Amino acid sequence: AQKITQTQPGMFVQEKEAVTLDCTYDTSDQSYGLFWYKQPSSGEMIFLIYQGSYDEQNATEGRYSLNFQKARKSANLVISASQLGDSAMYFCAMSPYSGTYKYIFGTGTRLKVLA
Amino acid sequence: GAGVSQSPRYKVAKRGQDVALRCDPISGHVSLFWYQQALGQGPEFLTYFQNEAQLDKSGLPSDRFFAERPEGSVSTLKIQRTQQEDSAVYLCASSPLAGGLNTGELFFGEGSRLTVL
């Protein structure tokens, strides 16, 4: 069965510092996609970054980068130069390539950026 | 509209009542998803539509849950005889892509928060 594990229920980071949010996954699929979403208090899920299982290079999107270690089955999110607006819940998710977009989400990490 | 719109944003129901939650996806988006997010948890998949066809309803927790998208745009999630364990945020998401290789993002609405008393 597919599973996403986020072991950090909450994290604090000082403004302008970098922070790493952990994500490990379990799947028997050979092909899959890994995603990170941000959920502010408004409730909307905001897409941040995507990594394909066959991508050799780590994905980057502005201040977000995904540290993908396939052998360890980890897909950690790195946020550089944290901003106060980064305070939110962050969810790691996985989806197989075939079939429908049955995203499997982790339980999330609540990030608080301190001024 | 510019984004995915869900209504009502908040719904309080007495146990045993029926509720209907509406989702207006982004115009032209082929795929539509419903997710259930319990307090302190990540979203859990309920069902998936490609246009008007419901291709996957494996996540619906019981036969009290029913979803439809009759014209391939607006979707309604209906919960009959609500129970306290149905209390959650129900998220709708849409995508311009249709199955196959999923490299793209889902566009989520702000959700409908259901509280069953």
DSSP 3-state assignment of B85?
A: helix
pLDDT one-digit tens code per residue, A52-77:
998 889 999 999 999 999 999 999 99
pLDDT one-digit tens code per residue, B42-86:
999 999 999 999 998 999 999 999 999 999 999 999 999 999 999
Which residues, 6+ apart, have CB-to-CB distance to B67 below 8 Å?
B34, B46, B47, B49, B54, B57, B60, B75, B76, B77, B78
Which residues 68-97 of B have a C-beta within 8 angstroms of A?
89, 91, 93, 95
**Pair A23, A76: CB distance under 8 Å:** yes
In this structure, what token pair is assigned to residue A49? 């970054």
Angle at the Cα of B37 (from A85 to B86), degrees rounded to 5? Answer: 145
CA B60 to CA B48: how far, in whole Å?
Answer: 10
Averaged confidence pLDDT in chain A:
92
Which residues, 6+ apart, have CB-to-CB distance to B92 below 8 Å?
B4, B6, B21, B23, B25, B32, B33, B34, B35, B75, B77, B108, B109, B111
DSSP 3-state assignment of A84?
A: helix
pLDDT band at B98 (very low <50, low <70, confident <90, very high): confident
In this structure, what token pair is assigned to residue B56? 């996957």
Residue A44 has pLDDT above 90, yes or no: no
DSSP 3-state assignment of B73?
A: coil
Q: Are A35 and B105 an interchain contact pair (Cβ–Cβ within 8 Å)? A: yes
Angle at the Cα of B41 (from B38 to B46), degrees rounded to 5? Answer: 60
Dihedral sign of CA atoms B51, A54, A86, A81 in order: negative
Nearest-CB residue to A100 (from B55, B104, B110): B55
Residues on chain B touching A33 (C-beta within 8 angstroms) = 102-103
Nearest-CB residue to B48 (from A46, A100, A108): A100
